[in-house]
Structure 1
Amino acid sequence: MSVPGLSINFATVRQGGSFGAIVDACLRHGITAISPWREHVEVAGLAEAARIISENGLRVSGHCRGGFFPALDEAGRRAAFESNRRAVDEAAALGAACLVIVVGGLPAGSRDLPGARAMVADGMAELLPYARAAGVPLAIEPLHPCYAADRACINMLGQALDLADTLGEGVGVAIDVYHVWWDPDLAAQIARAGRNGQILAHHICDWLVPTKDILNDRGMMGDGVIDLKAFRQMIEAAGFHGPQEVEIFSHDWGARPIDEVLATCVERFEALC
């Protein structure tokens, strides 16, 4: 029995081992859409990962991740660009719906947030022609403001859409409930993204109260305070009907057997999302 509309981000089940082992576990639970991370693809080998996807008829809802454009010097920025080119190549080979872009934060020692955002815009503008030629849409993922310094200096959906509008064709957004559920302008910005066909991915989990670790204490759907059904209604009203991708960074869930995690994902998705 398959579970239509559900995708598993490999961050949720890193404990499951290799690329092939994670795919096998997903298939045992009827999950036929995945979003791998570059680390898993690197270990498996790109050709082998692509073969596994093709032979099992899997849908790839996204590839994680590109970005991290800001750097202290030109050498650092060139290294980021080359890494992003390779990420585009991987996404194309895997048939991914998009390359998720976590843009990066402040370079080490910097306090220049506007400067970091300018480097993001410049880096994406330089990468975009290569991504367009490869047929890989770039999905900017705004991250919660607590990550502005180290992971992403784009923190609200409106900011991400402003940049996508500036860059044009081939750029949209990945909307992760964990990062944007609190935004008072959320409904208007989701509707805006829908009007322009810019919703490329939708990630789900939950926000725990209290949250003990801002990076690794995401909640399983239903264990926190996010109204996931209302969120899905907004996303679908905006025209996005792609998979809901479970992405849970969690010391708790990461310590549990992969089959327990996947069974819970299926149960909660069907009941609550």
Structure 2
Amino acid sequence: MRGFSLNQATTKRWPLDELVPGCAAAGVEAVGLWREEVTEYGTEKAASLVRDAGLTVSSLCRGGFFHDTGWYDENRRAIEQAHTLGTDTLVLVSGGLPGSSRDLDAARRHVGDAIGALVPDALAAGVRLAVEPLHPMFCSDRCVVATLGQALRLAQPYPAEAVGVVIDTYHLWWDDTVWDGIATAGRQGRIASFQLADWITPLPSGVLLGRGLPGTGSVDLRRFARAVRETGYDGHVEVEVFHEEVWSRPGPEVLAEALAGYQAAVA
């Protein structure tokens, strides 16, 4: 695996024009970026900032949210933005149930159809759509794709260079089928991104913000890293954490702890 990447979400309040030189000074070679912050800063300007610092963009988050009206145009914009930033990976969070629907099967079929509609745009831009399964507690409102197996089934109809999957330890650590899923994803060449975050207990009241820095929770991160490495995956390893306490700390301090957690898990 190529090495550590700091996902921008981990240091949410570290401005991009400080984060990028801070990563370069620490010897970090890649960053994962988020569309909202990149758009606010300016996409072309962000691309130049990263490029001039000698960094690469390991992924852009996020596309998806296919339950929203206007999802097609918004995802085409996301693909174009990823291309401008020079990343080949656009992370897709599928979105939840539309309106008052309780039909998970229909929602998942719609996700598959939506991905298929975007494949020509993705191939033309040289950007891979990376389907990220989220923990089942997010099914209703954020992501009806809850397991790696479901993500792989959605990707299966399309070329591996067009549609891949995300292995995120926070979302997948609970599933005893994940190891076979990682091996399958590797054989198919579909691992587009590998993300590290820990599961902390007790979860805060806002469960979305319950991720811990690597080594602070319950996940066997070394087992995940070993399983992903054994597939031949050669991409970056992103540390992506959502937690209010982490966000409140200085960016360089969080970066140092994220690096240390990565090294303990992956080295």
Band the TM-score falls in, shorter-chain normalisation: over 0.9
- Residue in 2 that maps onto 1:80: 71
- What residue ranges of structure 2 are gaps of 5+ in the alignment? none
**Cα-to-partner distance string for 1:218-250 (whole Å, 9 max, x where unaligned):** 111111111111110000101113211000000
Equivalences, count:
263
Deviation at 1:186, TM superposition (A): 0.9
2: CA distance, partners of 1:159 / 1:136 = 21
- Residue in 2 that maps onto 1:260: 253
Q: 2:158 aligns with which of 167, 180, 187?
A: 167
- Residue in 2 that maps onto 1:228: 221
User: Which amino acid is the alignment partner of residue 142 of structure 2?
Assistant: R
1:26 counterpart SS class: helix
2: CA distance, partners of 1:113 / 1:266 = 38
Deviation at 1:253, TM superposition (A): 0.3
- Residue in 1 that maps onto 2:14: 16
TM-score of the superposition, structure 1-length normalised? 0.93
- Whether 1:179 and 2:176 are equivalent positions in the alignment is no
Deviation at 1:168, TM superposition (A): 3.1
CA contact (8 A) 1:203 1:244 kept: yes
Judging by fraction of residues, say which structure has more strand: 2
**Cα-to-partner distance string for 1:35-89 (whole Å, 9 max, x where unaligned):** 1000111111111111112212212111001001124xxxx1xx11101000000
2: CA distance, partners of 1:108 / 1:30 = 46
Q: 1:29 aligns with which of 26, 30, 47?
A: 26
2: CA distance, partners of 1:57 / 1:97 = 17
CA contact (8 A) 2:225 2:265 kept: no
1: CA distance, partners of 2:171 / 2:6 = 18
- Residue in 2 that maps onto 1:99: 90
Q: 1:117 aligns with which of 108, 112, 115?
A: 108
- Residue in 2 that maps onto 1:69: 66
Q: What is the root-mean-square deviation in Å for CA atoms of aligned residues?
A: 1.2
CA contact (8 A) 1:217 1:252 kept: no
User: Which amino acid is the alignment partner of residue 233 of structure 2?
Assistant: F
2: CA distance, partners of 1:272 / 1:198 = 22
**Cα-to-partner distance string for 1:62-118 (whole Å, 9 max, x where unaligned):** 1001001124xxxx1xx1110100000011111113100001111122212112112
Q: How high is the sequence identity, in percent, across the aligned residues?
A: 43
1:190 counterpart SS class: helix
- What residue ranges of structure 1 are gaps of 5+ in the alignment? none
User: Which amino acid is the alignment partner of residue 113 of structure 1?
Assistant: L
- Residue in 2 that maps onto 1:38: 35
2: CA distance, partners of 1:187 / 1:215 = 24
